[in-house]
Structure 1
Amino acid sequence: MKQNYALALGSAFLLWLAWPPVPYSSPLLFVGFVPLLVAIENIIRGTYTRKGRKIFWISFFTGFLWNTASIYWVYNSMNAYLSGYVALLISLIPFGLAPLLMAAVFRLYYQMRKKTNLIFSFGGLLSFWVGYEFLHQWWDLAFPWMTLGNGFANFHQLVQWYSYTGVFGGTMWVWTINLLLFVLIWQKKEKINVYSNTGIGLTALSLLVIPISVSLLLYSNYEEHKNPSQIVVVQPNIDPYVKFGSMPPEAQLESLIQLSEKVAKPNTEFFIWPETAISAERGIDENEFRSYPAYERILQFLENYKNGNVLSGIESYQLYSDPKTPTAREVSAGVFWDPFNAAVLVDRSSKLQFYHKSKLVPGVEQLPFGRALSFMKPLFAHFGGSTGGYGSQPEPSVFYAQSGIGAAPVICYESIWGNYVAEYIKQGAQFIAVVTNDGWWGDTSGKDQHLQYAKLRAIENRRWVARSANTGISAFINQRGDIVQQTAWWEPTAITQEINLNEDLTFYTRYGDIILYLSLLGGVVSVYLMVGRKKTRKQDLISHI
């Protein structure tokens, strides 16, 4: 087994090296799983006992090392909110849970190998893997950071066709080539020729060259329609660990305004401020926001900008006379308080638009499986975590300026969900405004990965992204996914850019993750083949390759 674990280690190293933010390393994804597949095949064909268990743990080994090396920064972000013990516990979600799900995929693949031929087994592996990635977008422990298609964020010129498939197209691309190369390498290693090596090689080469060629053609020929809008993005650089200890909310607001004024032009239409930029020590009552001095100061600032709008993150809450939401908790007799990590649009009219973050961070902004785990609320409260969780809204909503421009207010973690961001675009958003605070993670690769992933949202929907990050990295990203401007890390600054608004809908925006739906159907067929077929004879299992 030592040789097999060495192969599994090789896969972990290749996958880590291929992952953002290492520039132009994504092609390593095409070979990243090959050593692990060879190790699994060695186990299948060997004289080992409990082969399924061995395949599970060797796959977990690869997944754990790859995930931990790529997203080691998660502990920093958890530790920002929670005490050390709970931070470590919640960090196990991506460090441990995701590798367990990955290992389960390979265990199911082994079951397929025992019941059916190699081609069906490969189909099952693809379907189960995409199913795992879908699960990690959908359930209460969602963390789709490591979706394979995200791995091309550092080489976005290769995946311009994400405007048709989204990131699941990248996942299928990676796995298809890995499987073909595995069969080619295994047959050469074993000196067998069950399938034509020439055919496999040509197929793998075609599946590599054709999508890249199409992508480069799309990239070089794509032209944005001229529909300009002047945008300002502000990076105030307020240390999140001492948000109110460093300066009072009034001084923070003045800093945002002063940085905005340094780069603003008379025709500036949007000022984008980061997550929780507008705040008070006890939060902002949304129903009473117009009575706050901060609101009056923003209106005063906008007097110099005829078409100006402030789109900002805000720490807000609402008060109810009854527990109308699952997250509302009673703070006094007959008064229920519901807090939000939110965004707000302020213009020179009396209208206010709020959006409540929907994709909440498990264990930090929401208690996963809240009803089932309600008994753990005292534990989380004791260690500084979320007990009731933040309130949210079920669907995204678009902010509309008086001029009619639609902006997608995407808050931090939400920018990882391609299908969710596409919902903003279907509602009429003409550009994407990402407001975030990446300072919790420190100067790690987390902030760089988060920036890179925003490039994929630009490609999927062909929309500019204006990204305001409290401590960096703030940026403007065009409709091809190019970073046109970006700031340095940990620097108070502001940048301005004339972007092009877009009203056209891409195929992906219109129809969503078709590849996902087909894969889920394939998963159902695979389960039927595993359950409904008789066990394959041992000799058949060995001769499948």
Structure 2
Amino acid sequence: MFISGFKKIREIRVKSSKIGGGISLPHAIWLPALTGVLSLAAFPKLNQGYLAWACFVPLLVFILRCAGARRAFWAGFVAGFIQFFGLIAWIPQVLTRYGNVAEPLCWFLYLLMVGVLACFPGSACAVTRYCMRGLGSWALFLFPAAWVSQEYLRSYAPFGGFPWLLTGYSQTDYLHLVQISDVTGVYGVSFLILTFNSAIVWALLSDTPKSRRMAPLALALLLLGGSALYGERMLRRWGSLKPELTAALLQGNLSFEESERELAWKFRDGYARMAERLEGTKVDLLVLPESPTPLMFQFDTVYAGTLRQLAARYSLGMIFNNVTVSYAGGGERYFNSAYFLSRDGVEVGRYDKVHLVPFGEYVPWKSLFFFVESITKDVGDFQPGSNLTTVRLGDHTANALICFEAIFPYLARQFVRRGSNLIVNLTNDGWYGDSAAPYQHLAMARWRAVENRRYMLRAANSGISAIIEPTGALQVATGLLREDVCVGRFGFVHDQTWYTQHGDVLANVCVIITLVLGAWSAWSLRRAALVECASLLAL
């Protein structure tokens, strides 16, 4: 299928000095649509990551042949809409089942969200095609930088960003390629994928001499080979660690639909019962997941006593999630918190979640979205924490990421840069049932371990709980939607990676390149228009 498809694409020849053949979206919608379908299949649950290395070829062919930036935008929009429509197909289930949103409104909100997300790849396509007008077809190689720029922007906006399944995440299972993220972050793998796709299109469609036509593809292959060799070296280095500590992660599989009384019993006695399975096993640290609880550690002395008794069994104590109430400033303020208890039952630290889920844990811009709370039943009213708190565990330091905070590269990096030697992720993916979301969430979390070369202890209420090694490998993992105990080895790591120290340098360079070439292209087009106007006046 791929060979016949490439033969068909090869028929669409384009000269390097002349681009654009007037191709229109209605007549060639199959090109961006094919990109959308193939890119969707590259991510969990389908996990066909190899497709990412060619899935953008049809879209790039369209960009080369279309008549202008507007058509290129809509091509990118179509590809993005199809991709995101499949990737976040679990959204309607969450809205109807847990948000009490009417089904028609639910689908409207879902399609609106997909449409907003699709504008990001659309913008990358439009910028690339616009630059081709001013700079020629070689501006095709701006596409990787433009694409990474829109992914970087999506990591921060709107409402704090939604970097769900950036292109690089498609390679999660190919650990040799993931390792460069300790230098470039996940954006480096995205850039590599888009560069390879661009080089394929240039090799197929350019009418330049063969040596020049194949040179970009040869360079892309060298980059890919170099990344794989670097990955092999890093896998040998970080895979040789011999961790001496043992962690136990309790996966309670608590349901939102259970009665408050039943949930209270499970929180007060259920976790203690699960911990009894650990008798006879040397465990240094116990970790409980984020999960729905009617009990508050602050005020329920019986519940607090149970947790302190549990912590006393382990040399490094325990970490758990609970709601915190603050009365500072004269009113009640609620925080989604991670508590750290020492073996002595003393609270040695607390982290209040700083990156809340918009429309889930709070309503942004309440004056604009005043109607949200009236149409949903479970929108929280949490306040964001103000500090990136790290906590001492024995002679070392750890930090917590709560729920979807693990999908933000900058957040884990800032914790590690501040001295964290261990990342703990407390999450509750029970909202998503047996959809692709828990698998997608885990895939993204694994990259935080590689970028910063830290062990990650990931406790998930309904799964997937896992101990993730600094290579991104899953040392041990549980199943989904079942009660389980996950036991494995971990250690504290003190080295800091280049990425930890310097951050998203590559992504920022891509943004600068995109802006500079965009401005240069605009200047070139304006100058050409002025020259043409002067020529006409001279006549």
| Range into which the TM-score falls when normalised by the shorter chain | 0.7 to 0.9
Equivalent in the alignment of 1:271: 286
Equivalent in the alignment of 2:354: 358
Equivalent in the alignment of 2:45: 21
CA deviation string 1:296-334 (max 9, x = no partner): 1111233333x2422111123212343xxxxxxxxxxxx
Match of 1:181 among 197, 200, 220: 200
Equivalent in the alignment of 1:158: 177
After TM superposition, the score normalised by the length of structure 1 is 0.85
Match of 1:66 among 75, 83, 98: 83
Match of 2:422 among 431, 440, 443: 431
2:134 maps to 1:126: no
Give the deviation of 1:112 after TM superposition: 1.3
Give the deviation of 1:460 after TM superposition: 1.0
Equivalent in the alignment of 2:59: 36
Match of 1:508 among 479, 488, 499: 499
- Is the CA contact 2:433–2:481 (under 8 Å) kept in the aligned structure 1? no
Name the aligned partner's letter for residue 458 of structure 1: A
Give the deviation of 1:22 after TM superposition: 3.2
- Is the CA contact 2:425–2:456 (under 8 Å) kept in the aligned structure 1? yes
2:130 maps to 1:99: no
Name the aligned partner's letter for residue 320 of structure 1: A
Equivalent in the alignment of 1:396: 388
2: CA distance between counterparts of 1:275 and 1:265? 26
Equivalent in the alignment of 1:346: 341
Give the deviation of 1:469 after TM superposition: 0.8
2:221 maps to 1:205: yes
2: CA distance between counterparts of 1:395 and 1:299? 25
Equivalent in the alignment of 1:48: none
Aligned residues with identical type, % of pairs: 21
Count of aligned positions: 501
- Is the CA contact 1:11–1:62 (under 8 Å) kept in the aligned structure 2? yes
Residues 49-88 of structure 1 correspond to what in structure 2 (within 5 A)?
51-85=68-102, 87-88=106-107
Q: Taking structure 1 as reference, are residues 478 and 363 closer, same or farther at Cα in structure 2, changes over 3 Å only?
A: same
Unmatched tracts of structure 1, length 5 or more: 45-50, 323-335, 539-545
Residues 340-489 of structure 1 correspond to what in structure 2 (within 5 A)?
340-347=335-342, 348-368=344-364, 370=365, 373-377=366-370, 379-384=371-376, 389-401=381-393, 403-489=394-480
2: CA distance between counterparts of 1:79 and 1:355? 31
Secondary structure of the residue aligned to 1:75 is helix
2: CA distance between counterparts of 1:265 and 1:460? 35
Give the deviation of 1:367 after TM superposition: 2.2
- Is the CA contact 1:20–1:154 (under 8 Å) kept in the aligned structure 2? no
2:48 maps to 1:5: no
Match of 1:293 among 302, 308, 312: 302
* More relative contact order, 1 or 2 (CA 8 Å, 6+ apart): 1
Secondary structure of the residue aligned to 2:359 is coil
2: CA distance between counterparts of 1:102 and 1:516? 15
- Is the CA contact 1:432–1:463 (under 8 Å) kept in the aligned structure 2? yes
- Is the CA contact 2:120–2:154 (under 8 Å) kept in the aligned structure 1? no
1: CA distance between counterparts of 2:238 and 2:263? 46
CA deviation string 1:493-521 (max 9, x = no partner): 11211212211111111111110221222
1: CA distance between counterparts of 2:482 and 2:380? 35
Name the aligned partner's letter for residue 207 of structure 1: L
- Is the CA contact 2:254–2:263 (under 8 Å) kept in the aligned structure 1? no
Q: Taking structure 1 as reference, are residues 195 and 101 closer, same or farther at Cα in structure 2, changes over 3 Å only?
A: farther
Give the deviation of 1:353 after TM superposition: 2.0
Name the aligned partner's letter for residue 381 of structure 1: E
Equivalent in the alignment of 1:280: 294
Unmatched tracts of structure 2, length 5 or more: 1-23, 530-539
Secondary structure of the residue aligned to 1:138 is coil
Match of 1:311 among 315, 319, 336: 319
CA deviation string 1:384-420 (max 9, x = no partner): 267784211244222222x233222111101111221
CA RMSD of aligned residues (A): 2.5
Give the deviation of 1:92 after TM superposition: 4.1
1: CA distance between counterparts of 2:155 and 2:362? 15
Equivalent in the alignment of 1:253: 268
